[in-house]
Amino acid sequence: MKKAILIRHGESEANVRGILSEELEYYNLTETGRSQAERMGNILRNYRIDGIFSSPILRTRETADIISGIIGRKVEIMDDIRESGLGGFNGKPFQSLPFGGREDLGMESWASLVKRMIGALEEREGNYIFVSHALPIRAAVSHYLGLNELDSYGIEIRFTSISAIDITNGKVLCLGSLKPSKKIENAFS
Protein backbone atom coordinates (compact mmCIF):
# COMPACT_ATOMS: atom_id res chain seq x y z
CA MET A 1 0.00 0.00 0.00
CA LYS A 2 1.04 3.56 -0.70
CA LYS A 3 -0.38 6.40 1.36
CA ALA A 4 0.76 9.98 1.63
CA ILE A 5 0.22 12.73 4.14
CA LEU A 6 0.89 16.10 2.54
CA ILE A 7 1.54 18.88 5.05
CA ARG A 8 1.96 22.52 4.20
CA HIS A 9 4.78 24.23 6.11
CA GLY A 10 4.00 26.41 9.13
CA GLU A 11 3.60 30.15 8.92
CA SER A 12 6.82 31.80 7.72
CA GLU A 13 8.19 35.33 7.63
CA ALA A 14 7.41 35.42 3.89
CA ASN A 15 3.76 34.61 4.59
CA VAL A 16 3.49 37.35 7.21
CA ARG A 17 5.06 39.84 4.79
CA GLY A 18 2.87 38.65 1.88
CA ILE A 19 5.86 37.71 -0.29
CA LEU A 20 5.98 34.95 -2.89
CA SER A 21 9.24 33.03 -2.49
CA GLU A 22 10.94 29.96 -3.84
CA GLU A 23 14.29 30.96 -2.28
CA LEU A 24 16.01 28.08 -0.48
CA GLU A 25 17.49 29.88 2.52
CA TYR A 26 15.23 32.86 3.22
CA TYR A 27 12.22 33.24 5.48
CA ASN A 28 12.29 31.15 8.63
CA LEU A 29 9.16 29.97 10.38
CA THR A 30 7.59 32.46 12.75
CA GLU A 31 6.95 31.52 16.37
CA THR A 32 3.37 30.75 15.31
CA GLY A 33 4.71 28.54 12.51
CA ARG A 34 6.89 26.60 14.94
CA SER A 35 3.89 26.08 17.24
CA GLN A 36 1.79 24.91 14.29
CA ALA A 37 4.44 22.34 13.33
CA GLU A 38 4.70 21.11 16.91
CA ARG A 39 0.92 20.73 17.14
CA MET A 40 0.89 18.70 13.91
CA GLY A 41 3.77 16.53 15.11
CA ASN A 42 1.79 15.71 18.24
CA ILE A 43 -1.25 14.79 16.14
CA LEU A 44 0.90 12.45 14.00
CA ARG A 45 2.69 10.88 16.96
CA ASN A 46 0.62 7.66 16.82
CA TYR A 47 0.45 7.31 13.04
CA ARG A 48 2.49 4.58 11.36
CA ILE A 49 4.87 6.61 9.21
CA ASP A 50 7.80 5.14 7.27
CA GLY A 51 9.58 8.43 6.63
CA ILE A 52 9.38 12.17 6.07
CA PHE A 53 10.27 14.07 2.91
CA SER A 54 10.70 17.82 2.81
CA SER A 55 10.98 20.42 0.11
CA PRO A 56 14.50 21.92 0.16
CA ILE A 57 13.11 25.36 1.08
CA LEU A 58 13.90 26.54 4.63
CA ARG A 59 10.32 26.94 5.90
CA THR A 60 9.48 23.35 4.94
CA ARG A 61 12.74 21.96 6.34
CA GLU A 62 12.09 23.67 9.67
CA THR A 63 8.53 22.32 9.75
CA ALA A 64 9.70 18.79 8.88
CA ASP A 65 12.47 18.90 11.49
CA ILE A 66 10.01 19.82 14.24
CA ILE A 67 7.63 17.02 13.23
CA SER A 68 10.58 14.61 12.93
CA GLY A 69 11.71 15.41 16.48
CA ILE A 70 8.29 14.42 17.78
CA ILE A 71 7.54 11.31 15.72
CA GLY A 72 11.10 10.01 15.49
CA ARG A 73 11.45 9.66 11.72
CA LYS A 74 14.36 10.94 9.65
CA VAL A 75 13.80 13.80 7.20
CA GLU A 76 15.02 13.46 3.62
CA ILE A 77 15.11 16.42 1.24
CA MET A 78 13.17 15.87 -1.98
CA ASP A 79 13.49 18.46 -4.73
CA ASP A 80 10.34 17.30 -6.55
CA ILE A 81 8.08 18.61 -3.76
CA ARG A 82 9.64 22.11 -3.74
CA GLU A 83 7.67 25.32 -4.21
CA SER A 84 6.27 26.03 -7.64
CA GLY A 85 8.57 27.88 -10.02
CA LEU A 86 7.48 31.51 -9.63
CA GLY A 87 9.42 33.04 -12.51
CA GLY A 88 9.50 36.83 -12.34
CA PHE A 89 7.12 36.82 -9.36
CA ASN A 90 9.70 35.35 -6.97
CA GLY A 91 10.26 37.82 -4.13
CA LYS A 92 7.27 39.95 -5.15
CA PRO A 93 4.18 40.74 -3.06
CA PHE A 94 1.41 38.15 -3.35
CA GLN A 95 -0.99 40.93 -4.40
CA SER A 96 1.12 41.58 -7.52
CA LEU A 97 0.13 38.18 -8.92
CA PRO A 98 -2.63 38.68 -11.51
CA PHE A 99 -5.35 36.11 -12.06
CA GLY A 100 -4.53 33.72 -14.86
CA GLY A 101 -2.94 30.47 -15.88
CA ARG A 102 0.58 29.91 -14.62
CA GLU A 103 2.18 29.53 -18.04
CA ASP A 104 0.58 32.78 -19.18
CA LEU A 105 2.43 34.48 -16.29
CA GLY A 106 5.86 32.93 -17.03
CA MET A 107 5.68 30.54 -14.09
CA GLU A 108 6.17 26.79 -13.90
CA SER A 109 3.34 25.13 -15.79
CA TRP A 110 0.55 23.35 -13.94
CA ALA A 111 1.34 20.17 -15.91
CA SER A 112 4.97 20.27 -14.77
CA LEU A 113 3.96 20.86 -11.16
CA VAL A 114 1.46 17.98 -11.19
CA LYS A 115 3.93 15.64 -12.92
CA ARG A 116 6.74 16.15 -10.39
CA MET A 117 4.41 15.97 -7.37
CA ILE A 118 2.68 12.78 -8.53
CA GLY A 119 6.04 11.25 -9.43
CA ALA A 120 7.28 11.94 -5.89
CA LEU A 121 4.16 10.54 -4.22
CA GLU A 122 4.02 7.37 -6.31
CA GLU A 123 7.74 6.58 -6.07
CA ARG A 124 7.77 4.32 -2.98
CA GLU A 125 5.69 1.85 -1.00
CA GLY A 126 4.56 2.70 2.52
CA ASN A 127 3.17 5.62 4.49
CA TYR A 128 5.10 8.85 4.06
CA ILE A 129 4.80 12.47 5.10
CA PHE A 130 5.59 15.08 2.44
CA VAL A 131 6.16 18.59 3.82
CA SER A 132 5.61 20.96 0.93
CA HIS A 133 3.83 24.16 -0.09
CA ALA A 134 0.23 25.18 -0.78
CA LEU A 135 0.34 25.13 -4.58
CA PRO A 136 2.22 21.83 -5.02
CA ILE A 137 -0.15 20.19 -2.52
CA ARG A 138 -3.16 21.66 -4.34
CA ALA A 139 -1.76 20.31 -7.64
CA ALA A 140 -1.32 16.80 -6.24
CA VAL A 141 -4.76 16.67 -4.63
CA SER A 142 -6.36 18.12 -7.77
CA HIS A 143 -4.83 15.32 -9.82
CA TYR A 144 -6.55 12.68 -7.67
CA LEU A 145 -9.83 14.65 -7.72
CA GLY A 146 -9.70 15.05 -11.52
CA LEU A 147 -9.50 18.86 -11.36
CA ASN A 148 -7.42 21.16 -13.52
CA GLU A 149 -5.67 24.34 -12.39
CA LEU A 150 -8.56 26.74 -12.96
CA ASP A 151 -11.13 24.37 -11.44
CA SER A 152 -9.07 23.96 -8.26
CA TYR A 153 -8.73 27.63 -7.22
CA GLY A 154 -11.20 27.12 -4.37
CA ILE A 155 -9.00 24.53 -2.65
CA GLU A 156 -7.36 26.19 0.34
CA ILE A 157 -4.30 24.56 1.88
CA ARG A 158 -3.72 26.20 5.27
CA PHE A 159 -0.52 26.20 7.32
CA THR A 160 0.36 22.72 8.66
CA SER A 161 -2.89 21.26 7.35
CA ILE A 162 -3.03 17.61 6.34
CA SER A 163 -4.21 16.34 2.99
CA ALA A 164 -4.08 12.55 2.96
CA ILE A 165 -4.14 10.41 -0.16
CA ASP A 166 -4.46 6.66 -0.63
CA ILE A 167 -2.07 6.49 -3.59
CA THR A 168 -2.72 2.81 -4.28
CA ASN A 169 -6.46 3.38 -4.78
CA GLY A 170 -6.20 6.94 -6.14
CA LYS A 171 -8.45 8.31 -3.41
CA VAL A 172 -8.24 11.56 -1.42
CA LEU A 173 -8.87 10.70 2.24
CA CYS A 174 -8.93 14.25 3.61
CA LEU A 175 -8.22 17.73 2.32
CA GLY A 176 -6.67 20.59 4.29
CA SER A 177 -7.56 19.20 7.71
CA LEU A 178 -6.13 20.81 10.83
CA LYS A 179 -7.48 18.02 13.06
CA PRO A 180 -7.86 14.79 11.11
CA SER A 181 -10.67 12.42 12.07
CA LYS A 182 -10.27 8.98 13.62
CA LYS A 183 -10.80 7.59 10.08
CA ILE A 184 -7.53 9.17 8.95
CA GLU A 185 -5.66 7.99 12.04
CA ASN A 186 -6.97 4.46 11.39
CA ALA A 187 -5.84 4.63 7.75
CA PHE A 188 -2.29 5.24 8.99
CA SER A 189 -2.25 2.76 11.88
Active site residues per annotation: 9, 133
Cβ pair 137, 164 in contact under 8 A: no
Q: Are strands 2-8 and 162-166 parallel, antiparallel or unpaired?
A: antiparallel
CA separation for the pair 142, 155 (Å, rounded): 9
